[in-house]
Amino acid sequence: MSTKKAILYTNYHGEAALPVAETKGSAPRRSHAQSKMTKHEIPQKSPQQARGGRAEAIYRGIFEAVVEHRLPPGAKLAEEQLGAIYGASRTIVRSALQALAHDHIVTIARHRGAFVSAPTIADAQDVFFSRKLLESAIAREAAQRIKPADVTRLRRILAQESEALRRGDRQKAISLSGGFHIAIAAICGEGALTQFLRSLISRSSLVIALYGRGPASECGHDEHVALVSALAAGDGERAAAAMGEHLDHIVADLTLAEREAEPVDLAAILRA
Ligand SMILES: [Zn+2]
């Protein structure tokens, strides 16, 4: 198995353009370059700026269908069928599916292929429990370390988020919300903590997409504004409390009910 080239994606929380190794085999591979590529790229990069191509079209097509509840959790994503729908080779389809698996949108099961991920209620609660512990501590620490440039960056994300909400662009709003939380962690550095949070946010974005009640279910914009005020004021305790309450509100707003996987017409959904 050899790595031929790296394909850049703007992942769905709108930040890291993760290079995904295009491989001949079926096992997901992480590019060595990935660790270098995740630095300092919080959400200024729009999906349009990311490198295009069919793999990206497949990534976005499936992601949007999941977020818009057109593709249900557990839906089978047959490589051959996706190749026919997008006019793409198996290699391209596979690299798109691997990128989606990396972002927890898709689960690749050995010998059974790819499916839309189906986080259970317990998974959803577990992810937000972890985020609350981690991000309350991050907020407390970030309030001590924040610099004027960080405040400017956070406010810029808030402005973009506000604009996405106004347009009713749910995918963009979820992306920017995730990017906002990562940007707070990045104030404390781009170390293991931030990388760990990226992974948790990927998972929770899927949970919000699946169990959210609609456009109002994403991170509350007003709560983000309050968080930035606490951080900018250097008030660690207020920032930690605001973060904890904010994450509690997101969970409270989810409609947590197990869903059954039903057979779906991939071509009708993805060509829509
Ligand atoms: Zn939020």
Tally of structural domains, the chain: 2
CA–centroid distance, 190 to ligand 1, in Å, is 19
In a domain, 257, yes or no: no
Residues 114 and 125 both lie in one domain:
no
Neighbouring-strand partners of residue 17 = 10
Residues 6+ apart with CB under 8 A from 63: 12, 100, 103, 105, 171
In a domain, 264, yes or no: no
CA–centroid distance, 154 to ligand 1, in Å, is 12
Residues 87 and 154 both lie in one domain:
no
Q: pLDDT band at residue 52, thresholds of 50, 70 and 90?
A: low
**For residue 204, pLDDT beyond 90:** no
In a domain, 98, yes or no: yes
pLDDT of residue 139: 97
pLDDT of residue 260: 62
Mean pLDDT over 47-69 rounds to 72
Tell me which residue has tokens 């963009």: 172
Residues 160 and 238 both lie in one domain:
yes
Among candidates 99, 263, 134, which has minimal Cα distance to 204? 134
Q: Round the average pLDDT of the chain to a whole number and report it.
A: 77
* 3-class secondary-structure state, position 110: coil
Residues 125 and 112 both lie in one domain:
no
pLDDT of residue 264: 79
> How many angstroms separate the Cα of 49 from the Cα of each of 67, 138, 200, 212?
21, 30, 25, 28
In a domain, 1, yes or no: no
Neighbours of 52 (CB within 10 A): 12
Residues 13 and 79 both lie in one domain:
yes
Give the end of a domain, one of 118, 143, 165: 118
CA–centroid distance, 97 to ligand 1, in Å, is 27
CA–centroid distance, 180 to ligand 1, in Å, is 7
Q: Give 100-145 pLDDT, tens digit per residue.
A: 998 888 999 999 999 999 888 888 889 999 999 999 999 999 999 9
Q: Give 138-195 pLDDT, tens digit per residue.
A: 999 999 999 999 999 999 999 998 898 888 877 778 778 888 999 999 999 878 888 8
Residue 245, Cα to own-chain centre: how many angstroms? 21
Q: pLDDT band at residue 272, thresholds of 50, 70 and 90?
A: low
CA–centroid distance, 170 to ligand 1, in Å, is 14
CA–centroid distance, 269 to ligand 1, in Å, is 30
Residues 155 and 186 both lie in one domain:
yes
**For residue 69, pLDDT beyond 80:** no
Neighbouring-strand partners of residue 107 = 115
Mean pLDDT over 237-266 rounds to 83
In a domain, 259, yes or no: no
CATH of the domain at 98: 1.10.10.10
Scored b (16 or more CB within 10 A) or e, 129-151 reads: ebbbebbbebbbbbbeebeeebb
CA–centroid distance, 259 to ligand 1, in Å, is 25
CA–centroid distance, 102 to ligand 1, in Å, is 22
Q: pLDDT band at residue 208, thresholds of 50, 70 and 90?
A: confident
Give the end of a domain, one of 59, 90, 118: 118
CA–centroid distance, 202 to ligand 1, in Å, is 13
pLDDT of residue 258: 65
In a domain, 30, yes or no: yes
User: Which structural domain, as residue segments, surrounds residue 187?
Assistant: 121-252
In angstroms and rounded to an integer, the radius of gyration of the C-alpha atoms of the chain is 18
Residues 79 and 170 both lie in one domain:
no
Give the end of a domain, one of 85, 118, 151: 118
Residues 128 and 170 both lie in one domain:
yes
In a domain, 58, yes or no: yes
In a domain, 270, yes or no: no
Please, what sign has the CA dihedral across residues 111, 117, 118, 122? positive
Mean pLDDT over 19-31 rounds to 35
CATH of the domain at 189: 1.20.120.530
Q: Identify which has the larger pLDDT, 209 or 80.
A: 80
Residues 23 and 6 sit within 8 Å (Cβ to Cβ): no
Mean pLDDT over 68-73 rounds to 79
pLDDT of residue 36: 33
Distance CA 130, CA 265 (A): 36
Distance CA 245, CA 136 (A): 9
Residues 188 and 233 both lie in one domain:
yes
Residues 229 and 186 both lie in one domain:
yes
Residues 95 and 172 both lie in one domain:
no
Ion ligand 1: residues, CB < 5 A: 177, 219
Token readout for 42 is 């919080």
Residue 43, Cα to own-chain centre: how many angstroms? 11
CA–centroid distance, 224 to ligand 1, in Å, is 6
Distance CA 227, CA 139 (A): 8
